[in-house]
Amino acid sequence: MLLTVNLKSEEPIYLQIRNRVVEGIASGALREGDPLPTVRALAAELGVNLHTVNKAYSFLRIEGFVKMMRSRGTVVTVPRRGRDTQDFLDAAAAAIKNIVTEAITRSVGREELTGMIHKIYSELEGKKK
Amino acid sequence: MLLTVNLKSEEPIYLQIRNRVVEGIASGALREGDPLPTVRALAAELGVNLHTVNKAYSFLRIEGFVKMMRSRGTVVTVPRRGRDTQDFLDAAAAAIKNIVTEAITRSVGREELTGMIHKIYSELEGKKK
DNA sequence: TATTTGTTATAGTATATATATAACAAATAA
DNA sequence: TTATTTGTTATATATATACTATAACAAATA
């Protein structure tokens, strides 16, 4: 199953679901128009509450990753470059600032961090066949 | 003042304090042995509770950034490479994975992210005179 | 007309963040 | 010795977030 979660993780369940969907889109496993499980079906499959899945899907909708349609279900939508992209870049810059700051205090060089970036790009884009 | 916080931010106050100290160490503004304000003094200066500052300092102590001594105060300690460094690298890899994943879905290239890394390294290391 | 599916509404539990007071313990200062 | 400083511990309260449990509603579909 593509959408799995770790109930013991300190990362909120709804964020784990959200991240799995984004990863699916990034790797090509999920494409424009692909249906996601219904909120009730995924909740039952994961052993969590309906509202937890609904929260994940609602976040994804706000971010432009899915389209929810009552009585029809939820499908994947690949976002185009737009205002959401700028929001992402701002958040990424803030997160990277924290990472780089601590890296410097621990004598971790920039090659080690840029290496992580290249590694994950390769892993995910490699799956896009 | 070096240690400032935004009380309206959604980032917890104790984490803001923690991050300001790490930034101070990264930029060279804070060095091994430098005293930090007492928990009561900084709490009064920022207009927050004593326990909020204590929580920030306690996290910094666990991470190896400060040494707290009852009746003497708290001083900066620059961590050396060790087990804490590996914990940091693991956390950094997880955070970067999330960033890269979303970047791919938004057609943001790796140069844009590695550029952010180089920019912040330069800004912080440039201050070290 | 019945079913499916997202949506909304309450309510309850647990945890995290922050505050407010108070008291304690150890080192230092007077 | 005594008083002060400073970190530490202990309660208690308030708010927000995460998650669960039920129930009902609304719109599209079968």
Across residues A5-9, what is the average pLDDT?
96
Asked if pLDDT for residue B83 goes beyond 80, the answer is: no
Return the minimum-mean-pLDDT range out of A77-86, B1-10, B88-97: A77-86
Please report the pLDDT score of residue B129 as a whole number: 59
Average pLDDT, chain B: 95
Spacing of C-alpha A125 from chain mean position: 15
Distance CA B28, CA B128 (A): 5
Distance CA A65, CA A75 (A): 9
Distance CA A59, CA B86 (A): 32
**Taking the alpha carbons of A49, A54, A60, A65 in that order, is the dihedral positive or negative?**
positive
Across residues B97-101, what is the average pLDDT?
97
Nucleotides in C strand less than 7 A from protein CB: 3-10, 16-22, 25-28
Nucleotides in D strand less than 7 A from protein CB: 4-11, 17-23, 26-29
Rounded to whole angstroms, the distance from the CA of residue A6 to the C1' of nucleotide C10 is 28
pTM: 0.93
Closest nucleotide to A49, Cα to C1'? D20
Across residues B57-65, what is the average pLDDT?
97
Closest partner CB to B108 (pick from A78, A85, A101)? A85
* DSSP string for B42-98: HHHHHT--HHHHHHHHHHHHHHTSEEEETTTEEEE-PPPSSHHHHHHHHHHHHHHHH
B116 contacts A93? CB cut-off 8 A: yes
Average pLDDT, chain A: 95
Q: Distances in Å between the alpha carbon of A12 and those of A5, A27, B27, B80, B93?
A: 10, 22, 33, 32, 19
Confidence of residue B1 (pLDDT cuts 50, 70, 90): confident
User: B50-63 and B39-46 helices cross at what angle (nearest 10)?
Assistant: 120
CB-based contacts of B91: which residues, under 8 Å, 6+ apart?
none
Distance CA A111, CA A100 (A): 11
Across residues B38-66, what is the average pLDDT?
97
With 0-12 / 13-18 / 19 or more C-beta atoms within 10 angstroms meaning exposed / middle / buried, residue A123 is middle
Nearest CA in chain A to B32: A105
Distance CA A105, CA A20 (A): 32
Please report the pLDDT score of residue A129 as a whole number: 58
Distance CA A24, CA A15 (A): 14
Distance CA B27, CA B62 (A): 21
Across residues A33-45, what is the average pLDDT?
98
A104 contacts B125? CB cut-off 8 A: yes
Across residues B103-122, what is the average pLDDT?
97
Rounded to whole angstroms, the distance from the CA of residue B62 to the C1' of nucleotide C20 is 26
Asked if pLDDT for residue B24 goes beyond 90, the answer is: yes
